[in-house]
Structure 1
Amino acid sequence: MAVGGGAVTVGGPAFVMWVSPTDEELVKKYNPELQKRSREGRYEREKEFDDFVMKLKKYSKSNKPIWAVQKDEENKAKEANIKAEKQSVLDEVKLRKEALRREAGLLVESSGSE
């Protein structure tokens, strides 16, 4: 019984490792187009993973749980995006007003007081 249990306990995972293909073997079975896309996207995926790990390391330095710090960072990023969008819209509106004033002849080019 013990020998049978040991064979299943040790032999099962060893058999799975022996039968499972490696990453290189899987990539070799791809068609050439998929291989090309996989190679092209590798750098971006690695960079994305590295960024994720760096963020986790940064979040782990806080006394708060990682998910709470991550949520706070997401909220800050959303607020910053909203502010940037709002500012760009305001700038665009200002440029349109100036263009309309120039067309109407109300804005003099040399005046820098506005």
Structure 2
Amino acid sequence: MAVYRRPVAGGSGDDPRLEGLRTAVSRLRRELAVHPADLPDRLVAEEELAALDAMTYSGVPEVPRLRRSLLVIAGAVGSVSALAPALAEVRQVIDLFGGVPEPRGKVH
């Protein structure tokens, strides 16, 4: 599994999180494309992955939108164990954009 670092303030070029997300999304798209099973929600996953990819080219995406996309993709392909490592990589990179949400019902 790839390891991504948070961006360094004052750095030049593209945000490394965006490049990491592009790479992770590309990997999952390729693995989904060659997966032989007839997945009922394949089109949903493909469309959401395309949307995620597009978001990376229009600035830093909103964290709630990234998380929604992750949920849609996970719902569409989450039960396919062959895709689990690539899906986990997408999640890992999305987590870099904002803290992992706390479980519901937890009170501080």
Computing the radius of gyration from Cα coordinates, the structure with the larger value is: 1
The structure carrying a bigger helix percent of its residues is: 1
TM-score by length of 1: 0.27
Q: TM-score, normalised by structure 2?
A: 0.28
Bigger RCO (CA 8 Å, 6+ sep): 2
